[in-house]
Structure 1
Amino acid sequence: MTPAQQLRKVLQPAGCRVMPCCFDALSARLVEHAGFPLTFMSGFAVSAARAALPDTGLLSVSEMLDQGRSICDAVSIPVIGDGDTGHGNPANVRRTVTQYARAGFAGIMLEDQLAPKRCGHTGVKEVVSRTEALRRIRAAVDARDAGADLVIVARTDARSALEAVHGPRRALDEAIWRLQAFADLGAEVLFLEAPRSEAEMARICREVPGLRMANMLEEGITPVLPPTRLAEIGFRIAAYPLTLLSCAVHAMQAALQQLQLGQTPAARVDFATLRGIVGFDAYDALLDQYRHEDAPSNCDQSDVDQDASQ
């Protein structure tokens, strides 16, 4: 089963999947070890963890792919990758989708912001025209249909970008129109970033076909609802984009404060657990398979002993 097929299987049953978002191979492995069936490589979190930079389009597609390959290699669960705006025109979008598929991703999220993009909860300024937004998703679907099998997650930021000019109602109308059009083009997962209320979230699920994704960012613009309520409304995925990163930063800051006081932090995993997570036990077990390898039948034992002594 390909990663994309695996992801489609995970998303097939009814209910809302809780999807913690990762930012490196270790955080992705922790998601898998905790029993979650999928994860998402957050662009915000990767930008912060890899370069200590804001999520404003500063990382290149090569940097995102490099991070993604490490993440996909570290886990067996499907990983959706943040593809931002597709990194250019429709030709760039097609190449980005192809590269993400080769890197091992199961899906890719593409959005309609004007490049350089920014985190949807920090004040989106502009989105591209309807025509350009549709071109991006059409190019992604064409790449998928040509063999780069990925689940296409189509995102719109029109709700935030157009509110100041058109008001909240018309901005939401436009965002929903775009998602409907993305679904018609063949996008499988639809994502309206930063709705302002539970009522808006319910309207999205009533009017947008396909599988809907909600973004549960703590202290963000969208209400953080429990997964059971999200399922009742009609969402299939609940993404938690910064939960792991925020908790990791909090834990590291607390540990550093204790070290400044000359104390060893007590709130940590023990060394044996850490060795197991990163794979020392599996590494040693692999080497044990070759420790008593028999010499080839045509090899003289004296030659083996002589080689060993050298």
Structure 2
Amino acid sequence: MTSSSPRKRLRALAEERRGLIVPGAFNALSARVIADAGFEAVYVTGAGVTNMWFGMPDQGFMGLAEIADHTARIRDAVDLPLIVDADTGFGNALNVRHTVRTLERAGADCIQFEDQTAPKRCGHFSGKEVVSTEEAVSKIKAAVDARRDGDLLIMARTDACATHGFEAALERAQKMADAGADILFVEAVTTADQIRALPQRLAKPQLMNMVIGGKTPVVDAEELARMGYAFVLYANAALQGALAGMTRVLGVLRDARRVDEDPALVAPFAERQRLVGKPEWDALEKRYT
């Protein structure tokens, strides 16, 4: 851990524009695994929280209370900068103001707002709609005005590419930047040419979302760094890996009627205790006994 705050570190990382990979966490333990693997920032994923907490699709079922609770728990678990997915801000510009105050208090270092109509849906689903440019911009202005700490970053995401086209999405993203957004996120672009064009035409640091199985072509993070992207998001790679692992071990349990401590199949018992910090808790217990 460095001496600077997570928010200052995240702001510096954004300005470096080196294609930093940011994995998504859906709970505190997944955030610990991300930190343990050596990543430098964590994305608190709304889709992941919805999928893993409710067992439901990413279609606007998550509320502010749920994402704030998860953010606070993840903040307690790791010291890495947290980029938090706040969906549409859970209402109008006034709701966005309340969302910023709530998530800033919970420990967010960057809060992401998107411009979909409610109920929102995953950026790589069909059937999306976006609010007017004026409403989208007003929400970003409200978010910027609401933050108490000037180091808190505001990320503006637009889903307009799917509904209005690439040029309209670029124009909207620029207006969000003019409204004070620190980082831009043009979601669900569909061609390599569009991916290359974004850093050339938008001056603010940008995030590119790599959705495994989604609409955007998967591009190596090194190449995205050369293009000038600040962040490369893998919001639900850990979730999809966890699902694959659970399916695999439960298949073995069903068919073989037992599961042994095979590191290729399950994390060893001792490794699980290490990741949840049992040695540190044991030391505290001795200290206070």
With the length of structure 1 as denominator, give the TM-score of the two structures. 0.88
Shift of 1:149: 4.7
**Does residue 154 in structure 1 map to residue 148 in structure 2?**
no
**Are residue 76 (structure 1) and residue 71 (structure 2) matched?**
no
Task: Tell me how far apart the structure 2 counterparts of residues 231 and 5 of structure 1 sit (CA, whole Å).
Answer: 21
Write the mapping of 1:120-199 to structure 2, written as runs, cut at 5 A: 120-144=123-147, 146-147=148-149, 149-162=151-164, 171-199=165-193
CA distance in structure 2 between the partners assigned to 1:53 and 1:150 by the alignment? 30
1:138–1:84 Cα change, 3 Å: same
Matched, 1:46 2:49: yes
Higher RCO (CA-CA < 8 Å; seq separation 6+): 2
Give the secondary structure class of the aligned counterpart of 1:211.
Answer: coil
Unaligned runs of 5+ in 1: 163-170, 292-310
Confirm or deny that 1:279 pairs with 2:274. Answer: no
Deviation at 1:4, TM superposition (A): 1.9
Structure 2 partner of 1:167: none
Residue number among 259, 266, 269 corresponding to 1:264 in the alignment = 259
Query: Alignment partner for residue 106 of structure 2, among 91, 103, 107?
Result: 103
Following TM superposition, by how much is the alpha carbon of 1:89 offset from its aligned partner in structure 2, in angstroms?
1.1
| Aligned match of 1:297 | none
Name the stretch that deviates more: 120-129 or 219-228.
Answer: 120-129
Is this contact kept in 1: 2:212–2:237, CA < 8 A? Answer: yes
Q: Deviations over 1:30-75 (max 9, x none)?
A: 1011110101011111100110011111121111111111111110
Q: Aligned partners of 1:290, 1:58: CA distance in 2, in Å?
A: 42
Q: Which has the larger radius of gyration?
A: 1
Preserved contact between residue 43 and residue 83 of structure 2 (Cα < 8 Å): yes
Tell me the percent identity: 38
CA deviations over 1:89-114 (Å, ceiling 9, x no partner): 11110110111100001111000000
Amino acid at match of 1:94: R
Q: Distance in 1 between matches of 2:127 and 2:159?
A: 7
Shift of 1:7: 1.3
Task: Quote the offset at 1:125 in angstroms.
Answer: 2.3
Q: Closer, same or farther in 2 for the Cα pair 1:45/1:190, shift >3 Å?
A: same
Q: Distance in 2 between matches of 1:101 and 1:44?
A: 20
How many residues are treated as equivalent by the alignment?
A: 282
- Residues 173 and 14 from structure 1, CA distance in 2 versus in 1: closer, same or farther, beyond 3 angstroms? closer
- Aligned mates of 1:14, 1:243 — CA distance in 2: 22
Q: Quick one: distance in 2 between partners of 1:13 and 1:263?
A: 49
When residues 155 and 14 of structure 1 are mapped into structure 2, their CA distance, relative to the original with a 3 A threshold, is closer
Question: What SS class does the counterpart of residue 6 from structure 1 fall into?
Answer: helix
**Inter-CA distance 87–149: structure 2 relative to 1 (3 Å threshold):** farther
Q: Hey, what's the Cα distance between the residues in 2 that align with 1:257 and 1:186?
A: 50
Letter in 2 for 1:179: A
Residue 290 of structure 1 aligns to which amino acid in structure 2?
A: Y
Q: TM-score, normalised by structure 2?
A: 0.94
Shift of residue 268, structure 1, vs aligned partner: 1.3
- Structure 1 residue 124 displacement after superposition: 4.1
* 1:255 Cα deviation from its structure 2 partner: 0.7
Q: Distance in 2 between matches of 1:40 and 1:120?
A: 16
Is it true that 1:233 corresponds to 2:227 in the alignment?
yes
1:3/1:105 contact within 8 Å kept: no
1:223 aligns with 2:226: no
| Distance (whole Å) between structure 2 residues aligned to residue 148 and residue 258 of structure 1 | 51
Q: Counterpart of 1:282 in structure 2: which amino acid?
A: E
> Would you say the 8 A contact 1:97–1:148 is kept in 2?
no
Query: Which residues of structure 2 form unaligned runs of 5+?
Result: none
Query: What is the root-mean-square deviation in Å for CA atoms of aligned residues?
Result: 1.3
Deviations 1:167-209 (A, max 9, x none): xxxx111100111111111111100000111100111111111
Q: Provide the rounded CA distance (Å) in 1 between the counterparts of 2:15 and 2:284.
A: 36
